[in-house]
A = this chain, B = another copy of it.
Amino acid sequence: MHAAALTYFRETAKRGSVRRAAAALNVSASALNRQILNLEEELGTALFDRLPGGMRLTAAGELLLQHVVGTLVEFDRVRSRIDDLRAARTGHVGLSAVDSLLVDFLPRALDRFRADFPAVTYALDAANPADVPRLVADGTYDLGFTFVGPTPPSLRFEHEVPAPIGVVMPSDHPLRQKREVSFDDVAPYPFLAQAGPLPRSADVDAGFARFRSGLRPRLVSNSIQALKTAIRLNMGIAFFTRLGFLEEIERGEVAWRPFDSPAINALRIGLLVPANRPPTAPARQLAARLVEEMGRLDSA
């Protein structure tokens, strides 16, 4: 990949002698010497001073050496990262996440990841926020996404993004005028609830849980697509993290407004990884990619 001349030059600079460098690299001194003479001709300047005892770098040589060493070291790093990729080409990754991320963020991230690792299989399951840590800790899943909170020592949040729960509404809804909405603001409006195969989660914020349990949903569905359409058709509003509707918000089809509760607005979702158990190769790659995608969310 990199020209042999680079290695030759580096070794010669290191050992201060063409012959010693040649011995170290198992090539003949003449071959090595020619490469260095070629380099000097190409750059139009001497790279070494020829002293009776051997070769010493000139100023230009020092400059070039820095570049060459840097290049070769960096290449080693790149190669080992590529080897990691190769090891991760096949395998299985299990992901346990709170449902808001299953709506939009995770399916899309996985789809993009799949393009690079077509032979990897996935399990992508929703779970209650409080259950995710246990599922990752005991190895049922490789990675988890849940609201950030205290973790057992066997787990660690690899990366976090702010993820307040707010109100998702049609783009012409009156609540859109407010920058933040209170529980009282939303009470009058019809409400759409998601009902998955899971028991309803013990909620992250006690006040919010109490508030929502008092509401009577106009529509309950376990189909996210149905809920999205229902919101667009003005059947009601729903409560989700922004992350579930990034694309629709972007296109102006729905609007999202935060609550006026500091506790809710401080909510963060994090990528949970095992701290002790070494992750499988594909899990490591996927985790790295997810952190990247989360960074993109952050800046958006």
- Which residues of A are at the interface with B, using a C-beta cutoff of 8 A? 1-3, 5-6, 39, 42-45, 58-60, 63-64, 66-67, 70-71, 74-75, 78-79, 81-83, 85-86, 89, 116-117
Assembly of this chain: how many copies? 2
Cα of A79 to Cα of B5 in the assembled complex, Å: 16
CB-CB under 8 A from A39, the residues of chain B are: 1
Q: Name 22 A/B residue pairs within 8 A (Cβ), A-sorted.
A: A1-B3, A1-B6, A2-B2, A2-B3, A2-B6, A3-B3, A43-B82, A44-B83, A44-B86, A45-B82, A45-B86, A45-B89, A60-B82, A60-B85, A60-B86, A63-B78, A64-B82, A67-B74, A67-B78, A70-B74, A71-B71, A71-B75
CB-CB under 8 A from A66, the residues of chain B are: 78
Within the complex, what minimum Cβ distance (angstroms) separates A5 from chain B?
7
CB-CB under 8 A from A71, the residues of chain B are: 71, 74-75
Instruction: Select from chain B the residue with minimum beta-carbon distance to A289.
Output: B59
**Beta-carbon contact of A59 and B74 below 8 Å:** no
CB-CB under 8 A from A117, the residues of chain B are: 59
CB-CB under 8 A from A44, the residues of chain B are: 83, 86
CB-CB under 8 A from A116, the residues of chain B are: 58-59
